[in-house]
Amino acid sequence: MKIRETIINKRKECGMTQKELSEKTGIQQNRISEFEAGKRDIVTSNVDKIFEVLDEKYLSSRERMWNLAKECATILKNKGFSKISDLSKDTITTLTEKEYLLSLKEISDDLYDELSAKGSEPANTFNYMKALIRFHLSLIS
């Protein structure tokens, strides 16, 4: 799936219009429209802005992250994986076919552990998602 298709799908899953996405990202609506139609490329910094808004909207609740992690764990288990500590973000994304995992920020394990110990767990990180997936895998193993 191309980045353009991922953005279109994710925007629609979030129930967001191009106009709303434009307002939240500061990117002109016509640029978003032309990009989604395949008539224009988009710069990486704008892709980052778009994913930031869409991730915030889509993964804003812990319930959604919980359900996504459970779904990923089930897919991985069905493909024969019971441990994911050695799998990269790209590999997990490919195996689960959940392209939006790529847009989650991955921070160092040390920083993640430090933030978690302080109670300020960074919920919209890939680290958190991976921890949830590990938990769900342990339940279905």
Domain definitions of the chain by residue range: 3-58, 62-140
Q: Tell me the C-alpha distance between 1 and 92, whole Å.
A: 15
Runs of H (alpha helix) within 1-141: 3-13, 18-25, 29-36, 44-58, 62-78, 89-96, 109-117, 126-140
**Which among 9, 96, 22, 23 has a CA at the least distance from the CA of 58?**
9
pLDDT of residue 62: 67
| Helices 89-96 and 62-78: angle between axes, nearest 10 degrees | 80
Cα dihedral 59→6→13→55 (10° resolution): 20
Predicted confidence band at 125 (pLDDT cuts at 50, 70, 90)? confident
- Does the pLDDT of residue 128 top 70, yes or no? yes
Q: Can you tell me the mean pLDDT for 12-22?
A: 88
pTM (two decimals): 0.55
Q: How many CB atoms lie within 10 A of CB 42?
A: 18
Q: Can you tell me the mean pLDDT for 45-64?
A: 73
CATH 1.10.260.40 fits 3-58, yes or no: yes
pLDDT digits (tens, 9 = 90+) for 68-81: 889 999 999 999 99
pLDDT digits (tens, 9 = 90+) for 86-117: 899 899 999 999 887 877 778 777 777 777 77
Report whether 136 contacts 65 (CB < 8 A).
no
